[in-house]
Amino acid sequence: MEASRIAVAGASGLIGTALVRSLTADGHEVVRLVRRTPRADDEVEWDPGRQYVDAVGLAGCDAVVNLAGAGIGDRRWSDAYKRTIRESRVLGTTALAEAVAAMDRPPRVFLNGSALGFYGDTGERAVDEDSPPGDGFLPSLCVEWEAATAPAREAGVRTVLARTGLVVAAEGGAWGRLFPLFRAGLGGRMGDGRQYWSYIALHDHVAALRHLLDSGSLSGPFNLTAPEPLTNREITAAMGRILHRPTLLAVPAPVLRAVLGEMAQEVLGSQRVLPARLLESGFTFAFPGIEEAIRATRT
């Protein structure tokens, strides 16, 4: 799109930081949503918990991007933290969707985060955007999270759902924790290593978000993941080759369950997810393979 005014919630996170950097480099004006009193002209206050948004600050925005939410892997999943994960996404999305819908001049597009957790454990079965949600905490969360965008969609705003895979980046996220372990020679497969991991290079994730924003017609769910998911065993081997470290260690499933609790299922579970709609839309991956994605973090 031409130089535009774009609001971003979750601008300080891994993906949000990279997206803001990309947008500003191309001359777009970025407005950051912050959970405190604004300290600069490019900040707008919001409070997801109270479902409050300073809608006046969104005036003139051509796009609103919501990437906010408590970290899925930041801590063990107690009942209280599961509520935090859910509320940070559902309440925040509802607040932004309602604010967008009520604007006299709404943005052209509302792009909201989601996750491949929508599909649950798919085993060896490949799934795409036409597949139904799975069972469990994350699938039910994603269904509710995506449904919270309804006010914007019903107001006629083009609404996009970005179902994110495991982002390959040294700066943070799941891979940000893996890199130090592998560099120290402590990396290895998790469980039996046969579970599929659907990954995407950070560069490609940001490029996909830009692609979805720039399109004048794309809407609905899009899987943001590389074209060919690989097993944990295959990814472990690739990490070892590229970092020149042994990968002989393995973390048994019982140990992961003891340490991580319910969240261990997300590490041991298999998600073989394909980006069918993204590819159909004409998007081209710069780093489609795992070795390319890993090397891209080192440039």
Per-residue 3-state assignment (H helix, E strand, C coil) for 145-207:
HHHCCHHHHHCCCEEEEEEECEEECCCCHHHHHHHHHHHCCCCEEECCCCCEECEEEHHHHHH
Q: What pLDDT, on the 0 to 100 scale, is given for residue 199?
A: 94
Q: Is the pLDDT of residue 76 over 80?
A: no
Q: What pLDDT, on the 0 to 100 scale, is given for residue 298?
A: 63
Q: What pLDDT, on the 0 to 100 scale, is given for residue 251?
A: 75
Helix (H) or strand (E) holding 14: helix 14-25
Q: How far apart, in whole angstroms, are the C-alpha atoms of residue 49 and residue 5? A: 25
Per-residue exposure over 192-219, b if at least 16 CB sit within 10 Å of its own CB, e if not: ebebbbbbbbbbbbbbbbbbbbebeebb
Q: Is the pLDDT of residue 11 over 70?
A: yes
155 and 188 Cβ atoms separated by less than 8 Å? no
Q: What pLDDT, on the 0 to 100 scale, is given for residue 78?
A: 85
The residue among 64 and 182 whose pLDDT is bigger is: 64
Tell which CATH architecture fits domain 5-296: 3-Layer(aba) Sandwich (3.40)
Confidence of residue 170 (pLDDT cuts 50, 70, 90): confident
AA identity, residue 94: T
Q: Is 41 helix (H, G, I), strand (E, B) or coil?
A: coil
Q: Is the pLDDT of residue 235 over 70?
A: yes
Query: Which range in 71-80, 176-185, 253-262 is most confidently predicted, on average pLDDT?
Result: 176-185
200 and 224 Cβ atoms separated by less than 8 Å? yes
Q: Is the pLDDT of residue 262 over 80?
A: no
Q: How far apart, in whole angstroms, are the C-alpha atoms of residue 149 and residue 161? A: 9
Nearest one of 39, 258, 212, 192 to 113, comparing CA atoms: 212
∠ CA 55-60-61 to the nearest 5 degrees? 80
Whole-prediction pTM: 0.94
**Mean pLDDT on 153-168:** 96
